[in-house]
Amino acid sequence: MDSVSSYDADELGQYQSLSTSAVLAFVLGLLSPVVFSSLLLVVVPLLAVAVALWALARIKNSDGALLGTRLAYCGLALAIVCGTASVTSVQVHASLLRRQADETSRLWISLLAEGHSEAALNLLTTNAVKSLSAADANNVAVPIFSEAVVNAQLSQDPVALALAEMHQRGEMPVLLRESHIASDLKPPRAVLTYEASAADSAGYSFTLSLMLTEGTDVTTSSWLIDGWNPVDGNP
């Protein structure tokens, strides 16, 4: 009894407990990698950061009554790393998709300009092929997948004719003006807008918008042209 009474009353009354908010912050930090499956789940690391900061503030103001500083810091670090890495990976992925789509678009434009409509046809989706007219020059109905007719229709498309005429004038610069990549869609889609101009001083130029979708057939280009539309200019 004497030994017990020798303790200071304040020491006997001091009790430390583990902060529940620190534990929650740590758990949310462990769950933060789910953001890599979908950017919509970025709410998880954001919530982890908020809870961790709240936990650290409560622990600091508890005068030693609350524990869990390391847990809160671990949850905070995990959330920041996962959140930052996910945003960076999305940007890198979108940049890679944009470059691939641009390469396919420039190849298709080049093939049409040089008169290789048959090769350009191989870069079209089935929907794009179906959009071409299914009638021959005499307006006689033919099977939609008649390659000869579809190839002829593509070679006579206003865009193909304009590109071929510009190519005959000499070097034809093609500039990428705008790009929109929907990397979250399955498969990803892209809309790229180009400005093509003739090398001479005649001022012959037009703007072309291409719609692309990522191909699923490994034997074809990674991207396929799904549609095209001359925004303005001679076509």
Regarding whether 173 and 101 lie in a shared domain, the answer is yes
Regarding whether 131 and 33 lie in a shared domain, the answer is no
pLDDT digits (tens, 9 = 90+) for 215-228: 765 445 589 999 88
Domain count, the chain: 2
Burial per residue of 46-69, b for 16 or more beta-carbon CB atoms within 10 angstroms, e otherwise: ebbbebbebbbebbeeeeeebebe
Q: Which CATH number goes with the domain that contains 221?
A: 3.10.450
Q: What are 145's two structure tokens?
A: 């997948």
pLDDT of residue 217: 56
**Helix axes 69-113 and 43-60, enclosed angle (nearest 10):** 160
Average pLDDT over residues 126-150: 63
Question: Is residue 88 classed exposed, middle or buried when 0-12, 13-18 and 19+ CB atoms within 10 A define those classes?
Answer: exposed
What H or E segment, with its residue span, contains residue 226? Answer: strand 223-233
d(CA 200, CA 171): 9
Q: Judge whether residue 2 has pLDDT over 50.
A: no
- With a CB cutoff of 8 Å and minimum separation 6, the contacts of 149 are 134, 135, 136, 142, 143
Model confidence at 37, in pLDDT bands (50, 70, 90)?
confident
- Of 165, 233, 229, residue with least CA distance to 198: 165
Average pLDDT over residues 108-112: 91
Question: Is residue 170 classed exposed, middle or buried when 0-12, 13-18 and 19+ CB atoms within 10 A define those classes?
Answer: exposed
Regarding whether 25 and 104 lie in a shared domain, the answer is no
| Integer angstrom CA distances of residue 209 from 28, 34, 145, 231 | 44, 36, 25, 6
From 45, 62, 89, give the residue that closes a domain. Answer: 89
CB 82 within 8 A of CB 90: no
- With a CB cutoff of 8 Å and minimum separation 6, the contacts of 123 are 104, 107, 108, 111, 220, 221, 224, 225
Regarding whether 106 and 21 lie in a shared domain, the answer is no
Provide the CB-side half-sphere exposure for 187 (13 A, CA): 14
Q: What SS3 class is residue 115?
A: coil
d(CA 34, CA 193): 34
pLDDT of residue 197: 77
Regarding whether 209 and 196 lie in a shared domain, the answer is yes
From 89, 124, 154, give the residue that closes a domain. Answer: 89
Model confidence at 133, in pLDDT bands (50, 70, 90)?
low
Regarding whether 62 and 22 lie in a shared domain, the answer is yes
Q: Is 136 or 152 the better-scoring residue by pLDDT?
A: 152
d(CA 98, CA 76): 33
What range defines the domain where residue 141 resides? 93-233
- Of 136, 38, 58, 169, residue with least CA distance to 23: 58
What letter would DSSP give residue 183? T
Average pLDDT over residues 169-184: 83
Question: In the chain, pLDDT over 90 holds for what percent of residues?
Answer: 29
